[in-house]
């Protein structure tokens, strides 16, 4: 089974984004996680546990959600699903928008990241209304490697 979980929170809205987003500063993260768990329960409670082979967490900026809230989502999913032996769990990350150290996400079971680097040219990043610089992106990649993400 393949699952996509949308996390709508962002520090700012990029000019090219068509996704439903909520600015992080307005809060609502716990309420969103509670609603996601209710949705998981409603969709899975009447079917036998299915093995998850891929979980992709996109957004928004999913890396703004703290690891503790992902733990709540994973606990809820684990009530109704199983994990395949080689499950792929991906987290989209913005180089300048992480609620926790990347090692905290790795410890939860995320084993793949998709880093939102549209360019390594600072002028282009500014035109796209990105909040990171090329150097921030390079630093983020090094931190992710250090945490065990290849």
Q: Give CA–CA dist 113/128, Å, rounded.
A: 21
Task: Collapse the DSSP code of 97 into the 3-class scheme (helix H, G, I; strand E, B; otherwise coil) and give the result.
Answer: strand
Q: According to the model, what pLDDT value does residue 82 have?
A: 81
DSSP structure class, residue 125: H
Q: What does each of the 150 residues of the chain score in pLDDT, given as a tens digit? A: 899 999 988 877 777 777 777 777 777 899 999 999 999 999 999 999 889 999 999 988 898 899 999 999 999 999 998 877 889 999 999 887 777 788 899 999 999 999 988 889 999 988 888 888 889 899 989 989 998 988
Q: What is the pLDDT of residue 17?
A: 75
Helices (H), 3-115: 29-44, 67-80, 102-108
Confidence at residue 97, expressed as pLDDT on a 0 to 100 scale:
77
* Confidence (pLDDT) at 121: 92
Q: Which one-letter DSSP state was computed for residue 46?
A: T
Beta bridge partners, 132, equal: none
Q: Is the CB of residue 29 less than 8 Å from the CB of residue 7? A: no
Q: Is-contact 105 91, C-beta < 8 A?
A: yes
Provide the pLDDT for residue 133. 87
Q: Distance between CA atoms of 19 and 33, rounded to whole angstroms?
A: 18
Predicted pLDDT at 28: 87
Angstrom distance (rounded) from CA 104 to CA 150: 16
Confidence at residue 114, expressed as pLDDT on a 0 to 100 scale: 92
Q: What's the confidence (pLDDT) of residue 16? A: 78
* 3-state DSSP helix/strand/coil % of the chain, to nearest 5: 40, 25, 35
Q: Which of 32, 27, 94, 12 is nearest to 58 (CA)?
A: 94
Closest CA to 54 of 104, 94, 111: 111
């Amino acid at each position: 089974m393949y699952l996509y979980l949308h996390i709508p929170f962002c520090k700012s809205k990029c000019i090219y984004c068509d996704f439903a987003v909520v600015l992080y500063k307005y809060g609502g993260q716990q309420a969103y996680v509670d609603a996601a768990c209710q949705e998981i329960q409603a969709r899975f409670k009447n079917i036998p546990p299915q093995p998850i082979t891929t979980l992709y967490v996109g957004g928004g900026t999913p890396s703004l959600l703290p690891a503790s809230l992902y733990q709540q989502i994973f606990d809820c999913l684990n009530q109704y699903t199983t994990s395949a032996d080689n499950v792929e769990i991906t987290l989209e990350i913005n180089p300048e928008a992480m609620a926790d150290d990347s090692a905290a996400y790795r410890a939860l079971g995320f084993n793949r990241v998709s880093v939102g680097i549209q360019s390594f040219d600072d002028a282009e990043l500014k035109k796209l209304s990105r909040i990171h610089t090329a150097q921030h992106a390079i630093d983020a990649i090094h931190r992710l490697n250090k945490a065990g993400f290849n």
